[in-house]
Structure 1
Amino acid sequence: MDRERDELLHTFMAEAHEILDEIERALLQLETGPDVHDVLQRVFRATHTLKGSAGSVGLGCLSDLGHAAEDVIEALCRGDLPLTTPVVSLLLETVDAARRLVAEIERGQVERSNSHEEVIARLQEARRRGPEALQGAWATGARRATEDDAEGATTLKSIRVAVEKLDRMADLIGELTLGRNRLARTLRAVRGEAGAALRDQMEEQDRLCRELEEAVRAARMVPVGPWFRHYERTVRDLAHAQGRLARLVVLHGDVEVDTAVVERFRDALTHLLRNAICHGIEAPEARRAAGKDPCGTITLHAAHERGGIALRISDDGAGMSRERIAARVRALGRHPAPDALPDHELFSLVFEPGFSTAAESSHLAGRGMGMDVVRRSVESIQGTIRIESREGHGTSLLVQLPLTLATIEGLSVGIGDERYVVPLRAVLACCDLPRGSLAHGGAQGLMVRSGRALPCVRLRALFGLGGAPPPEERVVIVAHGGSEAGLVVDALDGEGRTVVKPLGQLFRRVPGISGSTILGDGSVAMILDVDALLGGVLRDVGQADALDERRAAPSAAGGAPA
C-alpha cells in the first residue's frame, strides 16, 4: 500500500509543479493584460484542480490552502473583492506557500512548516475585510519569493521533457542503428588485419550504441500503476451513472511501458472499462441474489511477458453468453456455424464492426462501436487482444502490447527477392516444411507438428509474388489467437533489432503489414502484422470447413439430398 501511495504522490508532484506554474503565469497577467475575467476563470480552475488532487492523495494542508485561495478568487470573479496589487501579491504568496509544501513533501519531511497557516489566515481575512486587510502583503510576498528562489535552486532533481523530444531522440537512435547495421555489413567484407581491427572497433561502437538506445528507451518508460489509478474515479462515476457499484483494483503497477504505448492505448482502455461496467457488472440487487458482493470488482493486472507487456482487464460480473453471441452472429451472417466455434473464436467476433448484443443503446454503450475501436487501436500498436469469459463468473480481456514502438526484435525472412520481418515476440519456432503439406503454389494447407495439425500459409502465394517456391521451404511457427499457425517462407535470414518506420498513406491500409524497416544492405523490408495477416485467411478457411461439414451432415445422417 505504501508503494502505491508513493507512486500516486510522485505523479501528483509532477502535476502540482505544472499547475502552480500555470497559476503564477496567469496571476502575473492580471496586472498587465486584458480579459481579466477569463484569466480569473483560468486561475480558479487550476486552483480547484490542485485542491482536488491534493485532497485525493491525503495532503490536507495543501488542499486547505487551495480552498482558501478559491474563496478569494471567487470573490474577485463576482466583483465582491476589488482586484488590486495587494490582492494579486497575496495570491502569488499563496503560490509560494504551496511550492514550499510541495518541496517539503518531496523531501519526505515529516515535520512541516506552518507558514501556510499564516497565508490561509490572511486569505480568509482578505475575504472578510477586503483590501484594507492586505497592508504589507506586497513586500512580504516579494521577500519570501526571493527566499524560495534561493532554496529551490538547490532542490531541482528532475525535469519534465516533452514527448515530442523523446520521440525525436528515438528517431535519431533508429537512424544510428540503421547506419551501424550498414557499416557492420560492409566491414564483414574487409579481409586481413585491417578488417579484424575495424571489426574490433565496431564491437565497441555496438556496445555504446546499445547502451545509448537502452538509456533513451528507459527515459521513455513510465510505470502503469499511476496511469491505471487515474481510472478509479472513472469507474466509480460510470458505475453510479448505471445504478451500480464498482471498484478498481490495480495489480503489479510497477511494470513499466513506453509512454507512446500508454498514449495510444488510453482510449481503448476507457472503452474496455466502460464495457465492463455497462455489460459486465450487475446491479447490486442482482449480485446479492447471485451470492456476490453488491460492489463489483474490476481488476487491471500488468506483467512482462514474451518481450512485451501483458495486460489482463477482468471483472467479476455476469460474463458473456455464448447463446446470445452465437444468435447475433447468425443474424448478421458473420459465420455459418457459430455454435461449433471454440470460445476464443466465437468471442473474437464481438470485435467486428457493428456487433452488439445490447437490447438498447445509450450514450455509454450498445451501438456496436466500442470493441471495434478497441481492436483497431490495439492492432495499430502491434498488440493483440482476446477474450476469456464464463457466464455468471465474469470476463477477462487479455491484451499483449509491445514495450516500445520505436524498435522491435525481429526475424528477417526471404521470399524470392523480397524481405519481410516477423516480430520476434510472435515467433515460437522455425522448422522445415514437410513435403506434401501444401500443394505446389497453393496458399494454405496443414502440417503435422507435435502430433497435431497446424494450419499454415504460404506468404509467396498470399502476397501474389509469383515465381515457383524453392525445393526446400521453411516454416515460421507463430502464436495467433491463443493457438499456433505457420508462415511458409523461402529462407530465414536471422534475427536482430529492427527500427520501425511508419508506412505512407499508400500502404497504410494494406492488410497484414504494420510498418517498414531498412535492412543492413539498404533494402526496404515490410514488417508483418501476424494477427491481422492470419486472422482473415484462417477465418475464411474455418468458415469454408464449417460450411462443408453442414452440407455433408444430411447425407451422413441418411437424410434426403438437398
Structure 2
Amino acid sequence: MDTDRDELLLTFMAEAHEIVDEIERALLQLEAGHDVYDVLQRVFRATHTLKGTAGSVGLGSLSDLGHAAEDVIEALCRGDLALTTPVVSLLLETVDAARRLVADVERGQVERSTSHHEVIARLQEARRGAAAAPQGAWTTSARRATEDDAEGATGIKSIRVVVEKLDRMADLIGELTLGRNRIARTLGAVRGEAGAALRDEMEEQDRLCKELEEAVRAARMVPVGPWFRHYERTVRDLAHAHGRLARLVVVHGNVEVDTAVVERFRDALTHLLRNAICHGIEAPEARRAAGKDPCGTITLHAAHERGGIALRISDDGAGMSRERIAARVRALGRHPAPGALSDHELFSLVFEPGFSTATESSHLAGRGMGMDVVRRRVESIQGTIRIESREGHGTSLLIQLPLTLATIEGLSVGIGDERYVIPLRAVLACCDLPRGSLAHGGAQGLMVRRGRALPCVRLRALFGLGGSPPPDERVVVVALDGAEAGLVVDSLEGEARTVVKPLGQLFRRVPGISGSTILGDGSVAMILDVDALLGGVLRDAVPVDALDERRSAPSAAGGSPG
C-alpha cells in the first residue's frame, strides 16, 4: 500500500505544480482589470480542483487551504468583497503556501508544515469582512464546471518523462553520431563495388540516425511561453517592493528551445528582469510627468534566428544615460575617452565586473555584480548578449542562444596538426587570404572584402602553435556583435554535426574555447567561442572603414561564398 500511495503522490505532485502555476497566472491577470469575471472562474475552478485532489490523497492541510481560498473567491464573484491589490496579494500568498505544502510532500514531510495556518486565518478574516449575501447563479455554474471535468476526455496523449532520462538519450545519440562519423571516415578508403554499396547503406543509416537525433532533440524542446510567464509574479512583486508598477508581456511564447538551455539561463533572466525594474522602470509619478502609462511594460520577445533562438528583453523605462556611464567608466579607469566610444562599445562596458551606476545598494540592486553574472552565464552556453538603449525611451537586451547544448552544426578547420570547430551559426563566408594582408607569423591584420576593411586574426599565432603558415591560407568570416571579422586558418575540413563534450575544470576558463568534440578519426578538437575569442583581440583593431581608400587593392580571390 505504501508503494501505491507513493505513486499516487508522484502523480499528484506533477499535477499540483501545474494547477498552482495556473492559479498564479490567473491572479496576476486580475490586476490588469480585463475579463475579471472569466478570470475569477478560472481561479475558482483550479482552486476547487486542487482542493479536491489534495483531499483524495489525504493531504488535509492543502485541502483546508484550498477551501479557505474558495470562500474568498466566491465573495469576490458575488461582489461581497472588493477586488483590491491587498486581496490579490493575499491570494498570491495562498499560492506560495500551497507551493510550500507541495514541496513538503516532495521531501517526504507530509503534514509537518504549519506556516499555512496563518494564511488560512487571514483568508477567513477577509471572508468574514465581506457582507453576507445569497449565493448567485455564478457560484452554481462554477461548481458545476468543476464536477465533470473528465467528461470529454479522450485517451492519454502525453506522458511525463524526467529530464535525466532525456539527457541520457541525448548522450547516447551523441555517442552514436561519433561512431557514425568514424565509420564514414573508414568507408571513404574502401574501393570498388563493395565500397560503393557500403557507402550507399551508410547514407541510409546516416539518414535514420539524423531522424532519431532530431526526434530526441524535439522531445527535449519546450515552448518559452510557460517559462517566461513564471516571471509575471516576479515582475509584479519586485515592482511593488521597489515602489513601481510593472507588467510583463510575452511575445511569440510558442517558440521552442532545449530544456537544458532554459535551466542554464534561468538565473540570468531573473537578473535582467530585476535590473529592468530597478534601473529602467520609473516611479509612477515620474512616468505620468513624462506622458507615459504609470504602469511600465517589460516585454519578452522570442524568435528563431540563425539556427538558434533570439531573445529581446525590452522595457519602456528611462533608458541608459551615456553621460552617467561614461563618467563611471572614466572614474574606474576602464577607458581614457569613453565619450568617443559608440553606443555599443560604451554599453558593453556595463558587463565589466564591479560596474554599477547605482548611487546606493539594496537587496534589489546596486552591488555591481548582476550584469557581469549575466554575461558569464550567457557565454557559458555559447550565447551572446548586447545592449540597445535610448535615454528616456527604454532599454533592450538582445540575446542569442543556441537551440540545444547537446550538438551543433560546426565547420572543422585545420591549423598545423591541430583541428578546431567553429559553430556554423557564426560563420558568414569562407575565402582565401590575400597575400600580404598579414605579416609573416603576425597575429592580426586587415584584408579588403567587398570594398571594406575586414579585421583578421591568425589563430596559429593567437594560440601560440608555432611553425610557419602554409603559402595559401584560408579565412573564415564570422559575425561579431553585428560586425564582421576573419579567422585565418591553414585549411577548411568541412561541415558536420558536432557532439559537444563539456570541458574539464582545467580548461573551463580558457578564453575562446567553449567545449570539445571527438572527430571521426578519434582525435579531439576544441570548439571555438567566437565572441569570447575575438572580443578582446579586436577591441583595439583598426576601424572597419579605415582602409576605404584602399578599395582598389586586390580583393579576396579564389574563395567560395559562405
Q: TM-score, normalised by structure 2?
A: 0.74
Say if 1:75 and 1:127, in contact at 8 Å, map to a contact too. yes
Q: State the Cα distance separating 1:539 from its structure 2 match.
A: 2.2
Aligned to 2:555, the other structure's residue is in SS state: helix
Say if 2:453 and 2:545, in contact at 8 Å, map to a contact too. no
Matched residues, percent identical? 90
Q: 1:373 to 1:25 in 2, by over 3 A?
A: closer
Q: 1:473 to 1:223 in 2, by over 3 A?
A: same
Deviates more, 1:184-193 or 1:86-95: 86-95
CA distance in 1, matches of 2:336, 2:561: 19
CA distance in 2, matches of 1:53, 1:491: 64
Q: 1:489 to 1:243 in 2, by over 3 A?
A: same
Deviates more, 1:346-355 or 1:111-120: 111-120
Q: 1:227 to 1:192 in 2, by over 3 A?
A: same
CA distance in 1, matches of 2:269, 2:297: 16
Q: 1:266 to 1:129 in 2, by over 3 A?
A: closer
CA distance in 2, matches of 1:456, 1:411: 18
CA distance in 2, matches of 1:91, 1:475: 60
Say if 1:500 and 1:517, in contact at 8 Å, map to a contact too. yes
Instruction: List per-residue Cα deviations over 1:401-427 (Å, max 9, x = no partner).
Output: 000000000000000000000000011
Instruction: List per-residue Cα deviations over 1:420-462 (Å, max 9, x = no partner).
Output: 0000001111111112211111101111112221111110000
Corresponding residue pairs, total = 562
Q: 1:172 to 1:456 in 2, by over 3 A?
A: same
Q: State the Cα distance separating 1:23 from its structure 2 match.
A: 17
CA distance in 1, matches of 2:222, 2:296: 28
Q: How does 1:218-367 map to 2 (within 5 A)?
A: 218-367=218-367
Q: 1:309 to 1:28 in 2, by over 3 A?
A: closer
CA distance in 2, matches of 1:496, 1:560: 18
CA distance in 2, matches of 1:133, 1:352: 61
Q: 1:119 to 1:138 in 2, by over 3 A?
A: farther
Structure with larger Rg: 1
Say if 2:69 and 2:94, in contact at 8 Å, map to a contact too. yes
Q: How does 1:101-116 map to 2 (within 5 A)?
A: none
Q: State the Cα distance separating 1:156 from its structure 2 match.
A: 3.3
Q: Which has the higher helix share?
A: 1
Q: State the Cα distance separating 1:253 from its structure 2 match.
A: 0.4
CA distance in 2, matches of 1:96, 1:351: 34
The Cα RMSD (Å) is 13.5
Deviates more, 1:520-529 or 1:155-164: 155-164
CA distance in 1, matches of 2:471, 2:285: 67
CA distance in 1, matches of 2:209, 2:557: 68
Instruction: List per-residue Cα deviations over 1:541-562 (Å, max 9, x = no partner).
Output: 4799999999999999999999
Aligned to 2:554, the other structure's residue is in SS state: helix
Instruction: List per-residue Cα deviations over 1:484-507 (Å, max 9, x = no partner).
Output: 111111111111100000011111
Gaps of 5+ in 1: none
Q: 1:93 to 1:402 in 2, by over 3 A?
A: closer
Deviates more, 1:402-411 or 1:116-125: 116-125
Q: State the Cα distance separating 1:112 from its structure 2 match.
A: 34
Q: 1:181 to 1:33 in 2, by over 3 A?
A: same
Q: 1:58 to 1:261 in 2, by over 3 A?
A: farther
Say if 1:326 and 1:346, in contact at 8 Å, map to a contact too. yes
Instruction: List per-residue Cα deviations over 1:275-322 (Å, max 9, x = no partner).
Output: 000000111111111111111110000000000000000001111111
Say if 1:90 and 1:138, in contact at 8 Å, map to a contact too. no
Say if 1:255 and 1:303, in contact at 8 Å, map to a contact too. yes
CA distance in 2, matches of 1:241, 1:115: 22
Deviates more, 1:484-493 or 1:150-159: 150-159
Say if 2:185 and 2:521, in contact at 8 Å, map to a contact too. yes
Q: 1:93 to 1:238 in 2, by over 3 A?
A: closer
Say if 2:387 and 2:398, in contact at 8 Å, map to a contact too. yes
Say if 1:337 and 1:546, in contact at 8 Å, map to a contact too. no
Deviates more, 1:467-476 or 1:97-106: 97-106
Q: 1:51 to 1:455 in 2, by over 3 A?
A: farther
Aligned to 2:514, the other structure's residue is in SS state: strand
Q: 1:556 to 1:19 in 2, by over 3 A?
A: closer
Deviates more, 1:148-157 or 1:514-523: 148-157
Instruction: List per-residue Cα deviations over 1:108-136 (Å, max 9, x = no partner).
Output: 99999999999999999999999999999
Instruction: List per-residue Cα deviations over 1:216-267 (Å, max 9, x = no partner).
Output: 0000000001111111111111111111111111100000000000000000
CA distance in 1, matches of 2:172, 2:310: 28
Q: State the Cα distance separating 1:330 from its structure 2 match.
A: 1.2
Q: 1:499 to 1:52 in 2, by over 3 A?
A: farther
CA distance in 2, matches of 1:397, 1:89: 30
Q: State the Cα distance separating 1:66 from its structure 2 match.
A: 2.4
Q: 1:8 to 1:165 in 2, by over 3 A?
A: closer
Q: State the Cα distance separating 1:199 from its structure 2 match.
A: 1.0
Say if 1:87 and 1:134, in contact at 8 Å, map to a contact too. no
Q: 1:288 to 1:446 in 2, by over 3 A?
A: same
Say if 1:415 and 1:489, in contact at 8 Å, map to a contact too. yes
CA distance in 2, matches of 1:376, 1:153: 46
Aligned to 2:234, the other structure's residue is in SS state: helix
Say if 2:45 and 2:145, in contact at 8 Å, map to a contact too. no
CA distance in 1, matches of 2:80, 2:297: 47
CA distance in 1, matches of 2:55, 2:452: 59
Deviates more, 1:409-418 or 1:99-108: 99-108
Tell me the equivalent position of 1:192.
192
Deviates more, 1:52-61 or 1:224-233: 52-61
Q: 1:186 to 1:554 in 2, by over 3 A?
A: closer
Say if 1:40 and 1:73, in contact at 8 Å, map to a contact too. yes
Q: 1:23 to 1:4 in 2, by over 3 A?
A: same
Q: TM-score, normalised by structure 1?
A: 0.74
Gaps of 5+ in 2: none
Q: 1:509 to 1:38 in 2, by over 3 A?
A: farther
Q: State the Cα distance separating 1:79 from its structure 2 match.
A: 33
Say if 1:385 and 1:400, in contact at 8 Å, map to a contact too. yes
Say if 1:235 and 1:247, in contact at 8 Å, map to a contact too. yes
CA distance in 2, matches of 1:238, 1:500: 37
Instruction: List per-residue Cα deviations over 1:115-170 (Å, max 9, x = no partner).
Output: 99999999999999999999999999999999999999984332211111111110
Q: 1:135 to 1:166 in 2, by over 3 A?
A: same
